[in-house]
Structure 1
Amino acid sequence: MVAKYQGITYTDGNIPGFFADEKKLKVTVDGKTVELHVNDTICLFEFGKIRRDFYRYINVFIVGFAIDDKKSFDNACGQWYSEIRGQVSKNPFILVGTKSDLRNDPDSAQKLVSQKDAADKVSSGQFSKYVECSTTNQNSINEVFETAAREYFAFESNQGCGCDIL
């Protein structure tokens, strides 16, 4: 997502690994341009301690799952949510369903996580927002980061701190 937002493509299949460089993204939201410091992680189990130590420095969490993979959804809402929430208690969580382009594919329709199931995670209070996006057609990539900025502004007004996003 971060790479697509920046217009970067990986044609050789080499996607950066765990804790690639911090990315600084300029986002214009509600008439203001802000710079988000985004730390993208690949949540490999073997990096658990490093990953957990890092959470305390993050203001907004973007937890992604592939909409065509129910296990990915269950892991995002279960394991990853619990791991992060165990380290930070107040920060906003945005649930992001990736591969939204598959919503238009009749062959995929039966196996997709429903938008209602994802929205229920917001209604329950587990996540503050739900956004779907596609890196294939770049649909709603901007919306993910605009939502993160808005959530940060709401969080900052209560906390008075700088913004880092994971």
Structure 2
Amino acid sequence: SGQEDYDRLRPLSYQNTNVVLICYDVMNPTSYDNVAAKWYPEVNHFCRGVPLVLIGCKTDLRKDKEQLRKLRASKQEPITYNQGEAACQQINAEVYLECSAKCRENIENVFKEATTIALNAMKKAKRQKKQTVCSVL
């Protein structure tokens, strides 16, 4: 029931955004589906033109036998790296990365990439602003 409150408040946090990280759980197909169905449309609406980074999270669970058993019991499979790459292309994200916070795998790289992309976007915006010419006729 509180989810609706977040849906109304979340857009307030998008102002002056330099990069957006869209994250999903590689062991949760619904989470993956929400990238294209929910998060990309919302971010594209409120942050048009802001670079996106797609992150597949909890990659350590792909090797967890109990998690795999539960997923397969509901006739589902973990999201593959290739599926993540496909979603990256579908939403026009700059890059697709995977990580495991639990195992501390690729976390630093996620933040380095996001920072680099944000800084490059800011430099590009600054250059474009300088090139704007005001003409009075």
Task: State the TM-score bracket (shorter-chain normalisation).
Answer: 0.7 to 0.9
Q: Which runs of 5+ in 2 are unaligned?
A: 128-137
1:141 pairs, out of 96, 107, 113, with 107
Matched, 1:154 2:107: no
2:98 partner letter: E
Q: Displacement of 1:121 after TM fit?
A: 2.2
Matched, 1:116 2:75: no
Report % sequence identity. Answer: 22
Matched, 1:46 2:5: yes
Q: What secondary structure sits across from 1:126 in the alignment?
A: coil
Paired position in structure 2 for 1:91: 50
2:119 partner letter: F
TM-score scaled by length of structure 1: 0.64
Going by fraction, where is helix more abundant, 1 or 2? 2
Q: Displacement of 1:84 after TM fit?
A: 1.2
Q: Which has more radius of gyration? A: 2
Q: Displacement of 1:106 after TM fit?
A: 5.5
1:128 pairs, out of 91, 94, 99, with 94
Q: Displacement of 1:56 after TM fit?
A: 2.2
1:145 partner letter: F
The CA deviation string for residues 39-63 of structure 1, in whole angstroms up to 9 with x for no partner, is: xxxxx43222221122122111111
Paired position in structure 2 for 1:5: none
TM-score scaled by length of structure 2: 0.76
Matched, 1:74 2:24: no
1:98 partner letter: C
Q: Which runs of 4+ in 1 moved over 4 A?
A: none
Going by fraction, where is strand more abundant, 1 or 2? 1
Residue correspondences, number:
119
Q: Which runs of 5+ in 1 are unaligned?
A: 1-43, 162-166
